[in-house]
Structure 1
Amino acid sequence: MQKLLFSLLALSLLAAAQTPIIFVHGNGDDATKWLPVIWMFESNGYRADRLFAIRFTDPVARRENHRAEPFRSSTTDQASELSALVTRVLLETGEKKVALVGSSRGGMTIRNYLKNAGGAAVVSHAVLCGTPNHGVMQMDTGLEGEFNGKGHFLRQLNEGSEVVEGVKFLTLRSDKMDKFAQPNVGYDGPELKGAENVVLPGLDHREVAFHPLAFAQTYRFLTGAAPSVAKVMAETKPTLSGVVTGFAGMAATNRPVAGLRFRVFALQAGTAERDGEAVLDLTTPETGAWGPLAVQPEREYEFVLEKDGRVVRYFMAGLLRSTPLLNFRFLPAAAMEGLRGPRLLVHRPQGYLSKGRDALTMDGAAVEALLPGVPTRDSVAVAVPEAKKAGVRVELRGEVVHARAAEAEHEMNVVELIWE
């Protein structure tokens, strides 16, 4: 009884003083990456109207920071977009300060905004997750590269104090499993002098932002208390919406895709077979927006994107809470090159996959296409036996998704995993 009363009191105090939080994604990523983290905050009593995630227009970094490059962004582009969103959030909420949480490149953008764009005046806390604060590499050439520890951008960020006065800093890093923090730079490359630096053993480059263990550290740092629950609590009737984005060549962008037919089908329990007609069927407008769509949290769904004679299907489970951030990319055909016949692309956007560490299975059999060692890839193309093409069961760490295989050249079927 005392424990329950304490939990209720803690939630009451939390609701009374909730700093708006802005989540900042990394290179080539989008706002959807933060869904599990946002939902865990909500499940612990944080108000949904105090949780925001930026979607950078062109999330891929330029190869040379000073040289304009179509559909890629400079450090100034990123900091400018973040500054605009901070201003909007302060106006919307009436608050004086926000907290910023960044993954990978997003943490570098946060530091740039705080040090060079006046952000320290309106930011209370900064959490940097797997951010290559001292570079992905350290080279005497390529000094205009954003990720070069000896380059102009990172040298400037790290000159003098590595943190900014008046802002509390937390860094989260892996021990030896971050592909961007290896011995050539140092496993401790993401750490900052003057910050609270926390090591999360065994987690990869993305997991140090999105894994429940990373959430617990972020929540503790921002609220001063441990979370009361370590998982997402489902809503009765979640409502989903988002946008469809695409690619410019092989560079991912978050620019909207208009004129795309977007359909959603509920799947029959325990199968990849559709359960009746589409529960949503629309053509995306200039904004690329889709929704709203009311779903049942215990069901699996198939999201179908069709344009210019190509079809991309996403199979998903675990859509437990409402969000306006469920964005889908209209993937290029090159993502499945080299694989013919029935096939699936298994995608894990909140983490990477490696053989031995990640027990990815298809109908109970281990997926052998994973590479051993430090996790470096967030997806794997899997050949599906002809007899199984109508439906397979894909599982990783307790998350189960049923999916059908793609067969035609113009089709791509994706198993989208979103949990730990």
Structure 2
Amino acid sequence: MTSRRALFSVVASSILLAACATAPNLDPQPPIVFVHGNGDSASIWQSTVWRFESNGWPRERLHAIDLPYPLARDEDGKAQPGRTSTAEHMAYLKAEVEKVLQATGARQVVLIGNSRGGNAVRNYIYNGGGASRVSHAILGGTPNHGVWAIKGFREANEFSGTGPFLTGLNAPKNTAGDEVTGPVKWLTLRSDNNDKFAQPDGLWIGAKGTPTNVTFEGPALKGATNKVLPRVDHRETSFSPAAFDATYRFITGRAPQSTTIQPETPVVLNGKIIGLGLRPTDAASGNYANNLPLPGAQLAVYATDPATGARMGNAVHSKTVGADGLWGPFTARAGVPYEFVITAPGYATTHIYRSPFPRSSQLIHLRADRPAEADKSAKSSTTLTRPRGYFDATRDKMSFDGKALPGVPPTGAGVSSSKINLSQDSVRPIAAEFNGEKVTGRTWPMAEGHLVVLELTY
């Protein structure tokens, strides 16, 4: 009897070990790698990371990448200063995934990509060996069938639905014609009709009235779980509370405790100071956003009055950044808005005003700016920007300096920034409100080399 029990125990243990060896990633909180979109940075995932943290996800298992040159090339196979090819994008993501796996000891990661970031996710899984390294892939607003699909029109671009890059990714993977392959679990999130890059008309690509041959369903993939989020815009397919809810459920199999961001103390902030690439005088291709640190840039941080934007005393933090570009750490006070002032050679003195920070973050990237040629005659220039979404006049309650937002169309969500150029010399408060979030700054004189940015968090 004893020998029988011992034999049964050995057999049972062998079966259990074999099952564990072939089982999918059962980590209840696997490491997540977030992949930003075209022209964006890791900072765009700030509120999404906060939502995961608010639901108990360990901070050290949430990693947002910063592609040094985040803009796609005009022609994928042709070198272009300050831009990346699909192959370079995939190689960077692959290296970052390996770093995260090594740091966490995990066998697999979850990949979450927005827009162009989803192109890199798909390319890595299909062509870069990522199928064994990834358990779940979530794509928000990724133009999986192109921003346009017009034979003979810019087919060398990675966003062409008839070009070699996307037709290769979309080739049937089995007899059912699926565009995705296992064992990775796939989720796509898309808007019903409000994504500027999934439109049947070419308005947002500068070809109004021309069919794109892409439908609202363009981000969906055959064989994936495809979810529609009503009325969200292109970026909100990844960064909205609804997108977080769908993502969390897909990864864990259960609803999050909350989609709201839970406050914490202390609030410790950090991030990089980044700039722009080529100046318009350096190349015909113009001024490129990049995610490279800006060594030597100086930062001063001021607490501000929420009603007037006026500084509440001297700088509460200051630093000249080094080669890594990091401007912190800085411990912020709960409920206090801040002004971040960047000075760097070749840039305007850039004043960035932010509403209070509810949680700590290493993703508070700050971009030094330069004035546009058309704005240089203004007495002051203030830009309102919403990095994690667009402005929709038919959906959102918003105002800028007490008025409707200049440059925002009456319908559709197609722009994420609005600018006011003032012709008066006076220095005064200038405020914006978006769906309950309010940011108040001060105008600064353009003649003395100042630019103002009111940056929304939500």
Q: Give the TM-score range, shorter chain.
A: over 0.9
1:128-139 → structure 2 map (5 Å cutoff): 128-139=139-150
Matched, 1:203 2:232: yes
The answer to whether the 8 A contact 1:205-1:351 is kept is yes
Q: Distance in 2 between matches of 1:322 and 1:67?
A: 41
1:30-49 → structure 2 map (5 Å cutoff): 30-49=41-60
The answer to whether the 8 A contact 1:66-1:144 is kept is yes
**Aligned residue for 1:81?**
92
Q: Distance in 2 between matches of 1:179 and 1:64?
A: 21
The answer to whether the 8 A contact 1:369-1:382 is kept is no
Deviations 1:16-57 (A, max 9, x none): 721001110000000000000000110011111111100001
The answer to whether the 8 A contact 1:106-1:131 is kept is yes
Kindly state the Cα deviation for residue 343 of structure 1 after the two structures are TM-superposed: 3.3
Matched, 1:230 2:269: no
Q: Distance in 2 between matches of 1:179 and 1:56?
A: 23
Q: Distance in 2 between matches of 1:363 and 1:67?
A: 44
Kindly state the Cα deviation for residue 268 of structure 1 after the two structures are TM-superposed: 2.5
Paired amino acid for 1:265: Y
1:44-63 → structure 2 map (5 Å cutoff): 44-63=55-74
Matched, 1:172 2:183: no
Q: Unaligned 5+ residue runs, structure 1?
A: 1-14
Highest CA radius of gyration, 1 or 2? 2
Q: Distance in 2 between matches of 1:16 and 1:114?
A: 20
Q: Distance in 1 between matches of 2:348 and 2:370?
A: 9
Paired amino acid for 2:223: G
Instruction: Evaluate the alpha carbon distance shift between residue 338 and residue 282 of structure 1 in structure 2; reply closer, same or farther with a 3 A threshold.
Output: closer
Equivalent residue for 1:392, pick from 414, 430, 436: 430
Q: Distance in 1 between matches of 2:298 and 2:57?
A: 35
Equivalent residue for 1:318, pick from 347, 351, 356: 356
Kindly state the Cα deviation for residue 148 of structure 1 after the two structures are TM-superposed: 0.3
Paired amino acid for 1:149: G
Q: Distance in 2 between matches of 1:214 and 1:17?
A: 20
Q: Distance in 1 between matches of 2:374 and 2:47?
A: 27
Instruction: Evaluate the alpha carbon distance shift between residue 368 and residue 310 of structure 1 in structure 2; reply closer, same or farther with a 3 A threshold.
Output: closer
User: Which piece of structure 1 moves more, 309-318 or 332-341?
Assistant: 332-341
Deviations 1:147-184 (A, max 9, x none): 00000100100012311210000000001111100012
Q: Distance in 1 between matches of 2:425 and 2:143?
A: 45
Q: Distance in 2 between matches of 1:153 and 1:362?
A: 41
Kindly state the Cα deviation for residue 325 of structure 1 after the two structures are TM-superposed: 1.3
Matched, 1:150 2:167: no
Kindly state the Cα deviation for residue 251 of structure 1 after the two structures are TM-superposed: 1.3
The answer to whether the 8 A contact 1:354-1:375 is kept is yes
Equivalent residue for 2:453, pick from 411, 414, 417: 414
Kindly state the Cα deviation for residue 285 of structure 1 after the two structures are TM-superposed: 1.0
Kindly state the Cα deviation for residue 354 of structure 1 after the two structures are TM-superposed: 3.2
The answer to whether the 8 A contact 1:238-1:320 is kept is yes
Q: Distance in 1 between matches of 2:245 and 2:426?
A: 39
Q: Distance in 2 between matches of 1:335 and 1:210?
A: 32
Kindly state the Cα deviation for residue 337 of structure 1 after the two structures are TM-superposed: 2.8
Kindly state the Cα deviation for residue 306 of structure 1 after the two structures are TM-superposed: 0.6
Number of residue pairs matched by the alignment:
405
Instruction: Evaluate the alpha carbon distance shift between residue 363 and residue 255 of structure 1 in structure 2; reply closer, same or farther with a 3 A threshold.
Output: closer
**Aligned residue for 2:250?**
221
Kindly state the Cα deviation for residue 376 of structure 1 after the two structures are TM-superposed: 1.4
Equivalent residue for 2:131, pick from 113, 117, 120: 120
**Aligned residue for 1:193?**
222
Kindly state the Cα deviation for residue 133 of structure 1 after the two structures are TM-superposed: 0.1
Kindly state the Cα deviation for residue 331 of structure 1 after the two structures are TM-superposed: 1.9
**Aligned residue for 2:105?**
94
Equivalent residue for 1:24, pick from 26, 29, 35: 35
Q: Distance in 1 between matches of 2:199 and 2:121?
A: 23
Kindly state the Cα deviation for residue 296 of structure 1 after the two structures are TM-superposed: 1.4
Q: Distance in 2 between matches of 1:328 and 1:164?
A: 38
Q: Distance in 2 between matches of 1:338 and 1:352?
A: 26
Paired amino acid for 1:22: V
Q: Distance in 1 between matches of 2:330 and 2:307?
A: 22
Q: Distance in 2 between matches of 1:333 and 1:368?
A: 18
Taking every aligned residue pair, what percent have the same amino acid on both sides?
40
The answer to whether the 8 A contact 1:339-1:381 is kept is no
The answer to whether the 8 A contact 2:147-2:160 is kept is yes
The answer to whether the 8 A contact 1:355-1:368 is kept is no
Paired amino acid for 1:175: D
The answer to whether the 8 A contact 1:317-1:401 is kept is yes
Kindly state the Cα deviation for residue 374 of structure 1 after the two structures are TM-superposed: 2.0
Paired amino acid for 2:450: E
SS at match of 2:48: helix
Matched, 1:246 2:275: yes
The answer to whether the 8 A contact 1:336-1:412 is kept is no
Q: Distance in 2 between matches of 1:245 and 1:76?
A: 24
1:67-78 → structure 2 map (5 Å cutoff): 67-78=78-89
Kindly state the Cα deviation for residue 338 of structure 1 after the two structures are TM-superposed: 6.9
What TM-score results when the alignment is normalised by the length of structure 1? 0.93
Deviations 1:373-401 (A, max 9, x none): 22111100024585984213311000011
1:361-400 → structure 2 map (5 Å cutoff): 361-362=399-400, 364-383=402-421, 386=424, 389-400=427-438
- Root-mean-square deviation (Å): 1.8
Matched, 1:163 2:180: yes
Q: Distance in 2 between matches of 1:206 and 1:336?
A: 28
Paired amino acid for 1:391: P
**Aligned residue for 1:283?**
320
The answer to whether the 8 A contact 1:302-1:316 is kept is yes
Q: Distance in 1 between matches of 2:307 and 2:33?
A: 36
Q: Distance in 2 between matches of 1:401 and 1:182?
A: 32
Kindly state the Cα deviation for residue 330 of structure 1 after the two structures are TM-superposed: 1.3
SS at match of 1:395: strand
User: Which piece of structure 1 moves more, 356-365 or 316-325?
Assistant: 356-365
**Aligned residue for 1:10?**
none
**Aligned residue for 2:395?**
357
The answer to whether the 8 A contact 1:112-1:157 is kept is yes
Q: Distance in 1 between matches of 2:251 and 2:289?
A: 31
